[in-house]
Amino acid sequence: MTAPLKVGLAGLGTVGASVVRLIEGDRDALTARCGRAVEVVAACARDPKKDRGIDTSKLRWFDDPKKLAVDPGIDVFVELMGGDGDPAKAAVEAALRAKKSVVTANKALLAKHGLELAALAEENYVALNFEAAAAGAIPIVKTLREGLSGNTIARVYGILNGTCNYILTRMEQEKLSFADCLKDAQRLGYAEADPTFDVEGFDTAQKLSLLASLAFGTKADESAVYVEGISSISPADLEAAEELGYRIKLLGVAVRTEHGIEQRVHPTMVPKDSAIAQVMGVTNAVTVDVDGFAPLTLVGPGAGGAATAASVVADIGDIARGVRTHPFGRKTSDLSAAGKAPMQRHEGGYYIRLMAVDKPGTAATIATRLAEQQISMESIVQRHRGTKGGADAKSASGPVPVILITYATTEDAVRQAIDAVKRDKVISGEPQLIRIEKNR
């Protein structure tokens, strides 16, 4: 009979404890699926005596994750400590050099050092699995790396941060401001005390860099991603989106263009009839546009102990079955440089909200500046003061909200037109610009 696969676990917080609980609770089913038993035999955590709701009496304890990583008594090293540097990086490197397969949920580590760690795994003929690093329980890594390995992918995009999706959902449904929703998200534990990493799009960017690598064969590089957050979104934008048949989501988008692979994170208007527009609250979703058939959308919990642990255990199960593939779907040496595609070349439709000065000639000036950049308008909506959407109107003599929806154009053209309008002094304040992501 095949010997059990012995697991060493570094990090025994919410996710780590859930991994132990899942392996212990589904022991027989996991053995049947994998063809061998899986056992957690050792762990490394700050406080071995802490009550985690699991039986840890049989585990061997280590103070140093690097020592656990190279321990001859384990076959697989599971890294759940987090962080893009040491001790996580040093421990993972040590495990790979000791020819032990690694499972990690650490998106920050992979976004920054994924290329060198993948090369180290290939050099030592071991696995580096990271399903839990992007979109929690959604099996998007396996889908891109293995399930769609014979298909050409045109675009992958998704809601990859539950905090932002929760905030936008509450803002839309309850007509609340961003600040009020953020405070509530912090109270409920959906947002950190310092929410910058989530709400300004950096968490999504790290996850997107991994998905882009798997989809398009680029080197995972978060610095190649254009990033905008959701802090500028107002109730007026959400109301306008509703009236125009859209919903606003923070999306991570990686798409193949004639200029290369474009990677971007920003608030996006998506058609309300699209699958991704229906995803509300803290739920995540990823849509893959594949040549030859309709878009494929996967939806599920993107965070939390049970959801993340499910993906970690699935990765451990692959190793138990003897499944090993290139971490990013192809040889590390074959991955191409990600290169930050200039947003000026991005092509698509745009939502533009301006606070237009109420005086003769303002509308004509705006129209002229757009026409100079060859921007065609799909619709123009002028709000009335004191009515729905009028929250931006300052007074009876103040500026008037004007909403423009463009047909496909370039980012550069839109920016140049807006800059010209600002120089003409026919608008007040900073214009709001939101990109529109159409169905294909």
DSSP assignment, residue 4? Answer: P
Q: Are residues 37 and 70 in the same domain?
A: yes
Residue 253: per-residue pLDDT: 95
440 pLDDT higher than 80: no
- The helix (run of H) or strand (run of E) holding residue 364 is helix 362-372
Count Cα atoms within 13 angstroms, Cβ side, for 4.
15
317 close to 381: Cβ distance less than 8 angstroms = no
Alpha helices per DSSP H over 189-302: 196-199, 202-216, 235-244
The answer on 296 and 179 residing in a single domain is yes
Residue 168 lies in a domain: yes
Task: Tell whether 175 and 285 lie within a shared domain.
Answer: yes
Whole-number pLDDT of residue 381: 84
Give the H/E segment covering residue 20.
helix 14-25
* pLDDT at residue number 304: 86
> Are residues 110 and 144 located together in one domain of the fold?
no
**Residue 224 domain flag:** yes
In 260-355, which residue ranges form alpha helices assigned H by DSSP?
305-320
CB 377 within 8 A of CB 407: yes
Q: Where are the beta strands (DSSP E) in 148-245?
A: 153-159, 226-227
pLDDT of residue 180: 94
**pLDDT recorded at residue 390:** 44
Q: Give the pLDDT confidence score for residue 383 in this predicted structure.
A: 66
Whether residues 243 and 207 share a domain: the answer is: yes
pLDDT at 14 over 70: yes
Q: Which CATH number do you get for residue 370?
A: 3.30.70.260
Give pLDDT, residue 2. Answer: 85
Whole-angstrom Cα distance, residue 187 to residue 171? 16
In a domain, 340, yes or no: no
Residue 37 within any structural domain of the chain: yes
147 and 51 within one domain:
no
Residues 98 and 161 in one domain: no
Q: Is 235 exposed, middle or buried (0-12, 13-18, 19+ CB in 10 A)?
A: middle
CATH number of residue 159's parent domain: 3.30.360.10
Per mean pLDDT, which range of 73-77, 364-368, 384-388, 431-435 is the poorest?
A: 384-388
For residue 138, list its beta bridge partners: none
Please tell me the predicted confidence (pLDDT) of residue 380.
86
Confidence of residue 358 (pLDDT cuts 50, 70, 90): confident
User: Which pLDDT does position 330 carry in this prediction?
Assistant: 94
Q: Residue 389 has what pLDDT?
A: 44
The CA distance from 200 to 92, in Å, is: 29
Residue located via tokens 């103070």: 63
Residues 294 and 203 in one domain: yes
**Residue 339 domain flag:** no
Based on the domain organization, do 272 and 322 belong to the same domain? no
Which sign, positive or negative, has the C-alpha torsion 261, 102, 333, 86?
Answer: positive
3-state secondary structure of 312: helix
Number of structural domains the chain divides into: 3
Q: What is the DSSP annotation of 34-47?
A: HSS-EEEEEEE-S-
| 3-state secondary structure (DSSP) of residue 9 | strand
Give the model's pLDDT for residue 406: 94
pLDDT tens digits, one per residue of 79-100: 999 999 999 999 999 999 999 9
Cα torsion through 388, 269, 206, 63, rounded to 10: 50
Tell me which of 303 and 266 has the higher pLDDT: 266
**Structural contact between residues 104 and 127, judged by C-beta atoms closer than 8 angstroms:** no
Clarify whether residues 48 and 71 are in a common domain: yes
Read off the pLDDT band of 247 (50, 70, 90): very high
The amino acid that residue 150 corresponds to is: G
Residue 390 and residue 366 share a domain: yes
Give per-residue pLDDT as tens, 393-428. 444 567 889 999 999 999 999 999 999 999 999 999
With cut-offs at 50, 70 and 90, classify the pLDDT of residue 387: very low
User: Percentage helix, strand, coil, to 5, in the chain?
Assistant: 40, 25, 35
What is the structure's pLDDT at 325?
94
Cα 300 to chain center, whole Å?
Answer: 13
Cis ω before 87 (30° cut-off from 0): yes
- Confidence check: pLDDT of 125 > 50: yes
Q: Which residues are marked as active site?
A: 207
Residue 36 has pLDDT above 70, yes or no: yes
CA dist., res. 306 & res. 111, Å (int) = 23
Q: Give residue 275's domain range.
A: 140-300
Average pLDDT taken over every residue of the chain: 92
Task: Report if residue 341 sits inside a domain.
Answer: no
Answer whether residue 418 is part of any domain: yes
Can you give the CATH number for the domain in which 122 is found?
3.40.50.720
C-alpha to C-alpha distance for 207 and 397, rounded to whole angstroms: 46
Query: 159-207, pLDDT tens digit by residue?
Result: 999 999 999 999 999 999 999 999 998 998 888 899 999 999 999 999 9
Residue predicted with more confidence, 312 or 150: 312
Q: Taking residues 12-17, what's their average pLDDT?
A: 94
Instruction: Classify residue 337: in a domain, yes or no.
Output: no
In one-letter notation, the amino acid at residue 12 is: L
Question: Both 288 and 184 in a single domain?
Answer: yes
Cα Rg of the chain, angstroms: 24
Residue 280 has pLDDT above 80, yes or no: yes
